[in-house]
Amino acid sequence: MRIGICELAYIPLRSGMSHKSEMLNQLLFGELFEILIHKEDWTKVRLFHDDYEGWVDTDCISFIQKENAILENFKNAYILPQQTRISINNSTIFLPNGALLPKNKTEFQINENKYKLAENFEFLTFENKAETIVKFAYDLLNSPYLWGGRTAWGIDCSGLSQFLYSLVGIQLPRNASQQIALGHTRNFITEAKPGDLAFFDDEEGNITHVGIIYETGKIIHASGKVRIDRIDHQGIYNKELKRYTHNLRVVKALL
């Protein structure tokens, strides 16, 4: 198995071998992936953490030269809850929320590149899972919606839920249609707890949207931007539009 790692803030994961192809997802800094097909300009990869597949610009990725050391560093990596600055070979890059870092290491190396965190960087630990999910969901308010996005610089609905649950050690699949298979069902919307996932469908019954219960009667979700709206047994009500925008299918408890 040939392995690669993302050393950029993020890399678009596309449906085909072209920059015009749809962006399905993103690779974030520190994420490992298997090389499935390698060509001069484009490489097909499979992400380790959720098995998502797609094509990336070959020039954007790094191939691991010393597998054991790097795999050990990123095997159970620290997930950045918020964006931060990191130095690389005496220059600086900004990492988005969701990027991976070796746990409790302020300096590390990937191939020939030497990285160093700021002296005041703090590795956080989270005890209350529901509070953590709600807190960092709130921190992402007004982040723009981006199909396939996973960061505060642009995020979609299932990218939001996947990121928030990763902070508390729960790895969700990438898409809402896959995430709905997890957890147990709340019988009524009035039973929903902060941190629960609410799923929504279209007229054909296809799952098209997911959001996080923020508090009783409110949901935080990515629709146009990350926002808080009212939710009831019918679905999400947007007070600005004065109408329901999403039809509730089910609420699932995963915590």
Closest to 217 measured CA to CA, from 227, 230, 226: 230
- DSSP at 88: E
Q: Nearest-CA neighbor of 101 among 90, 88, 112?
A: 88
Residue 180 has pLDDT above 80, yes or no: yes
Kindly indicate whether the domain formed by 129-253 is annotated with CATH number 3.40.50.620: no
Please say if the pLDDT value at position 235 is more than 80: yes
Residue 180 CB neighbour total at 10 angstroms:
20
Please work out, in degrees rounded to the nearest 5, the angle formed at the alpha carbon of residue 142 by the alpha carbons of 137 and 145.
90
- The rounded distance, in Å, linking the Cα atoms of 227 and 221 is 6
Query: What φ, ψ does residue 190 adopt, rounded to 5°?
Result: -70, -15
Checking if the pLDDT of 76 tops 90, the result is: no
Q: pTM above the 0.85 mark?
A: yes
Q: Return phi, psi of residue 54, to 5°.
A: 180, 180
Per-residue pLDDT, 71:
83
pLDDT at 65 over 80: no
Q: How far apart are CA 219 and CA 222, in angstroms?
A: 10
Q: Report strand pairing: 243-253 vs 197-201.
A: antiparallel
Ranges of each domain in the chain: 3-117, 129-253
Mean pLDDT within 143-155: 98
Per CATH, which fold does 3-117 belong to? SH3 type barrels. (2.30.30)
